[in-house]
Chains A and B, each alone.
Chain A
Amino acid sequence: MIYLQLFWVFFIIGLFTFGGGYAMLSLIQSEVVIRHAWITAEKFTDIVAVSQMTPGPIGINSATYVGYTVTGNVFGSLLATFAVVLPSFILVLTICHLYMKFKESNLFASLMKTLRPIVIGMIAAAAGILVTKENFFDWTSWVLFAGAFAACQWLKTNPIWVIIAGGAIGLIIY
């Protein structure tokens, strides 16, 4: 029974969160902490922190973590993760078919062209939102920021190496 509920809750979460992981978190919180009381608010904060510290989309990470915590086994964890991906999988595949079909049409191409500046603004905003006191606690953070930006922009260093270097420097200097 718990498995059915878990599947349903995460399916709904996957279906109704527009706008990426952080928008998803508030819905997960209201369903999992408040409505079903599967985990405490404190535990949920832990999950968010761990999600931010581990690779992968936050929506997936929290589904995996909550699924395991609620049922105590790997299957619950797998089920919640599958449920959260399923709605977008069906919808995005449908959109893909339409995109391939209409890609060459003038109307669609010029709609996409119109939306491009918004995509740029959207990504700039994603970086802007992350400029917080927690992420930039003193000048060393800004040096790391500038170094990483320069490395990727001008030296074309692979972002993966930049992340590893950032972690190594953090371990040494803090």
Chain B
Amino acid sequence: MVSYWEIFKCFSKIGTFTLGGGYAMIPIIQREVVEKKKWIRLQDFMDVLAIAQSAPGVMAVNISIFLGYKLRGNKGSIVATLGSCLPSFIIILLIAMFFAGFRDNPIVVKIFKGIRPVVVALIAVPVVDMVKQSNLNVYKALLAIATAVAIVFLKVSPIYILLVVGVFFFMGRYFGDKRKREQSSSNKINKEGGER
């Protein structure tokens, strides 16, 4: 069983190096939790991402809550959330208290000019792994591309896409089952008719 301390350590490491918002956290979480610690499989991690995106709030925190819960239940999720929030809390607090000129500091500006394109690359990397492991057929690949286009160019929120596809899924299931039932019952009638 994974210890609370190990969960805390892992998520505070993730929290410390997540620059540029929640999505930038995904490659680091994937690296630490899926590849290094092997606490969860990539497939399950993608489930977690879909659920974290569908729930309200900060995505990175939602991921931490979920993974913490998976590892050690309710307490595990508290520990993981604390771990991922604490580093940024302390850093922001220090900046709010002491460094009013932080964003205009020339050294900080230079460092961030170097970091920003790197972060974009880091977010792009897991896409390749996920495509490889998901055995996409043509339809699924098109769905993935359409999703990306809708979000980037049409500014559609991912939550709506998840919702719409979810609704279609349940409708397909419902009507598919209904048709099957009707087919099997009409087959029965035909058989009975034939026997007569």
Contact = CB atoms under 8 A, between A and B. Distances in A.
In this complex, which of B115, B118, B124, B152 has the most chain A Cβ atoms within 10 angstroms of its Cβ?
Answer: B118
B88 A89 contact: no
A39 to B, nearest CB: 11
Nearest to B164: A118
Given A57-B60, A77-B93, A120-B144, A166 B115 contact: yes
Contact of B58 (A52, A84, A147, A165): A84
B57 A167 contact: no
Nearest to A128: B152
Interface residues of B, number: 98
B20 A57 contact: no
B121 A145 contact: yes
Contact of A148 (B50, B88, B121): B121
B59 interface: yes
Given A85-B58, A121-B148, A170 B111 contact: yes
Contact of A57 (B13, B22, B49, B54): B22
A65 interface: yes
A41 interface: no
Contact of A92 (B18, B66, B93, B116): B66
Contact of B88 (A60, A91, A160, A162): A60
A15 B62 CA distance: 12
Nearest to B54: A18
A124 B108 CA distance: 28
B169 A111 contact: yes
A131 interface: yes
A158 interface: yes
Interface residues of A, number: 95
Contacts of B116: 130, 134-136, 141
Nearest to B142: A117
Interface stretch (B1-9, B95-103, B181-189): B95-103
Contacts of B118: 144-145, 148, 162-163, 165-166
A78 B147 CA distance: 37
Nearest to A69: B96
A167 B144 contact: no
Given A93-B77, A114-B169, A54 B128 contact: no
A118 B88 contact: no
A8 interface: no
Contacts of B122: 148, 152, 159, 162-163
7 contacts: A18-B55, A53-B103, A56-B92, A122-B53, A135-B117, A135-B120, A149-B125
9 shortest interchain CB distances as A-B pairs: A170-B114, A56-B88, A88-B57, A121-B147, A166-B118, A125-B151, A126-B23, A148-B121, A59-B58
